[in-house]
Amino acid sequence: MAKWLVAYASMTGNTEEIAELIVEGITASGHEADLKSVTDFNAAEVLNYEGFMIGVYTWGDGELPDEFLDFYEELDELDLHGKRAAVFGSGDTSYEQFCGAVDLTAEKLKERGAEVSPEMLKIEYSPLEQEKESCRDFGRRFVTAGAEIS
């Protein structure tokens, strides 16, 4: 069976919580997903999966967090044609570039040839009770109805 990857960078746990909810959605739809921190693996591992979802919080003024930079740079070595991907993250709307790191990551994945879902999940801080289902749904739809969101 196809296996999916949900990988994230999270400093205070918000993006990690979103990633966990996405995995819940994937497994609830009968699929298998690995949940990993980007600090624990090399970007080339994404090639072992049917598709992957990357979560990242935003730092500075719409910037990538430091612990995400190795992963981001490793992507430059990869040919991601034929791979499906989606991006999500947590941010704070009081900053000018809300979830700017999510946009930067989507651009990089497209540059490397991945088929990136135009739907991105951007959550303020940690998901509110009513947003939790949207997180699960984001995962569920990515693995079950690719055509709908790509």
Ligand X SMILES: Cc1cc2nc3c(=O)[nH]c(=O)nc-3n(C[C@H](O)[C@H](O)[C@H](O)COP(=O)(O)O)c2cc1C
Residues that bind ligand X (CB under 6 A): 10-15, 57-62, 90-92, 95, 97-100, 125
Least distance CB 65 / ligand X (angstroms): 7
CA nearest neighbour of 51 among 32, 37, 70: 32
- In terms of CB distance, is 18 or 80 closer to ligand X? 18
Closest to ligand X by CB, 13 or 82: 13
- The nearer residue to ligand X, 52 or 88, going by C-beta atoms, is 88
Any alpha helices (H) in the chain, and if so which ranges? 14-28, 69-74, 100-111, 129-144, 146-149
Q: How far is the CB of 124 from ligand X (least distance, A)?
A: 7
Residue 48 Cβ, how far from ligand X at the closest point, in Å? Answer: 25
For residue 127, the minimal CB distance to ligand X (Å) is 10
DSSP state at residue 107: H
Q: How far is residue 150's CA from residue 92's CA, in Å, rounded to a whole number?
A: 26
Instruction: Tell me how far apart the alpha carbons of residues 45 and 5 are, in angstroms, rounded to a whole number.
Output: 9
CA distances from residue 40 to 22, 32, 34, 88, 149 in whole angstroms, order as listed: 19, 19, 12, 19, 29
Question: What is the closest distance, in whole angstroms, from the C-beta atom of residue 23 to ligand X in the complex?
Answer: 15
**Can you state the percent helix, strand and coil of the chain, rounding each to 5?**
45, 25, 30
Between 80 and 101, name the residue whose CB sits nearer to ligand X: 101
Q: Which residue is nearest to ligand X (CB)?
A: 91
Kindly tell me which of 60 and 113 has the beta carbon lying closer to ligand X: 60
